[in-house]
Chains A and B, each alone.
Chain A
């Protein structure tokens, strides 16, 4: 008992074996997929499936962010996909601008006089905005010519929006379901704004052709898809380590305490609002980065991507995977989004009942809804709870009481030892 009385400072890896296991699995997966790919390997996995896998890794990353803000800090944000979309738009603007610039320069090169800067700019604007009946760059595109500035925007714009939104919401002590509704309103307002043609971001057309990297037309998509796949895997790995580091220390202690009993944390002297704001902003930035990696693989980003339902799906993934544990979020996002691709892609065999044919393209959302309800009722720990069964962890008996009075507090059935 004496040596166990106080925890000794062990290396990070030993204290959190799950991080090492996760990184090992991710590395194996990345190498495996590369070997089986068309671009660098034996060609078993098609390029489009590589893209699906790469996109899934990005969804896992944004699910990690969601788990941090909801599973650990108890803020049920239903607006994080807005930050994800903004990340996609930020990188998409540069991709579209730079590629169109090359095309315009090529076509103008045939002219007798060398084109002026104004002619080039007008040419690009006509190409990009012709579809919404405009031929001028809106002010929002001021930095689109610069990759570093747009990369900075991937981090700064979601971060700033989250900071302002969070500051307004948290300082007014908006919590629980009211905050969820506010975040839904935020993502809805943003998507409605972007749907307008004069929003400056091509209205409902969105930004397209993002899969083509400017100046790299010679590189086949089989190769480009792997580049993005690797980048997504790297981002997920780094994101996982960052999240694990945050939740492992005293900061993690405090945010879990905020989740379970906010008022008590205040009386301990912690500025609860500041902690929430840090987590909200940080996770928005992570979501932005995930989006910036996702949309070049998807090829197109449009306002429908940040519709309110997208953020609700995000919460469903985390709930099904098991909130309050990082690997749960990853498992949930990967499992549900891949399954969703399978069902909605028309690959799942329809079930003929004689009088009615269940076509999964239509019925998948119903199945997803039912499984969400079932998980919430019967297996609140989600898929991640299977790990507890495997390593035989039992929960202490809390006599049916939740872990705290707050709405984000873990329920007794969700908590572990």
Chain B
């Protein structure tokens, strides 16, 4: 398996506080990875750097087959290159229907003129219907997404990410505020997605991480503390000290 994303020696500080400190991280194509760590470990900042929201003070972020540097690209260019991101709070466009939300996310040319003259083909509509099926919202295609329950919004957002067809999927606390049944469904969706692309899941909930059955990276104070299977890292004494032992 080839490396899809390589983050090396990245540091960033906000007003003197080192949010990320010499962090290095790698993920291959079609890999599922969980990133855990206590509050303030730099998980969200880590995602901000990859998606271009925050520019690091030093370090490199190399992505894709050609080894392009993400640091020189704008947020929208990074997204177009195939990096999708799901936020902690579900952020769907509440004023618009589930169909419109998915159609907007569907992988298409993103320029204003192309969008202005865009007409959805039958294929596009079928794709949207398939996606809605996957995320269990086919009955709600024409409802305003503002009406959906919290869990349904989370799924819709995951559906929008899948519609983007990204090569790298960054998911921030997908299980937050979900019922046990919804969590199970979410696990299935993520594991299914990781068969064809790289998926990074940031999560607090150990039970949820255990069910993902994947390699785990533990962050602490902006750098990697341990990496390996969940059983491996939970036996690591440092990890127990900073995170689990409390």
Contact = CB atoms under 8 A, between A and B. Distances in A.
Interface of A: 1, 4-7, 246, 249-251, 253-254, 256-257, 260-261, 263-264, 266-272, 274-275, 278, 396-398, 403-404, 410, 415, 417
B71 interface: no
B213 interface: no
Of B84, B144, B160, most A-chain CB atoms within 10 Å: B144
B146 A251 contact: no
Given A267-B79, A404-B94, A410-B95, 6 more contacts: A250-B120, A257-B96, A271-B74, A271-B76, A271-B112, A397-B147
Contact of A250 (B75, B77, B118, B125): B118
Contacts of A270: 76, 110, 115
A5 B138 contact: yes
A6 B129 CA distance: 7
Of B85, B110, B111, most A-chain CB atoms within 10 Å: B110
A403 B118 contact: no
A396 B103 CA distance: 21
Contact of A257 (B79, B104, B119, B138): B104
Q: Which 3 A-B pairs have the closest CB atoms?
A: A269-B79, A396-B147, A266-B75
A403 B94 contact: yes
B111 A249 contact: no
B51 A267 contact: yes
Interface in B149-166: 160, 164
A325 B99 CA distance: 20
A324 to B, nearest CB: 8
B91 interface: yes
Nearest to B84: A267
Contacts of B178: none
Contacts of B95: 256, 260, 403, 410, 415
A396 B153 CA distance: 14
A271 B111 contact: yes
Interface in B135-182: 138-139, 141-142, 144, 146-147, 160, 164
A410 B93 CA distance: 11
B174 to A, nearest CB: 16
B116 interface: yes
Contacts of B96: 253, 256-257
B41 interface: no
Given A5-B129, A404-B94, A253 B103 contact: yes
Contact of A261 (B84, B91, B144): B91
A253 B104 contact: yes
16 contacts: A6-B125, A6-B128, A6-B141, A7-B125, A7-B142, A246-B116, A250-B104, A250-B118, A256-B96, A268-B160, A274-B112, A278-B112, A403-B95, A404-B94, A410-B95, A415-B146
B146 A398 contact: yes
B105 interface: yes
Contacts of B77: 269
Contacts of A410: 95
B29 interface: no
Contacts of A278: 112, 116
B100 A253 contact: yes
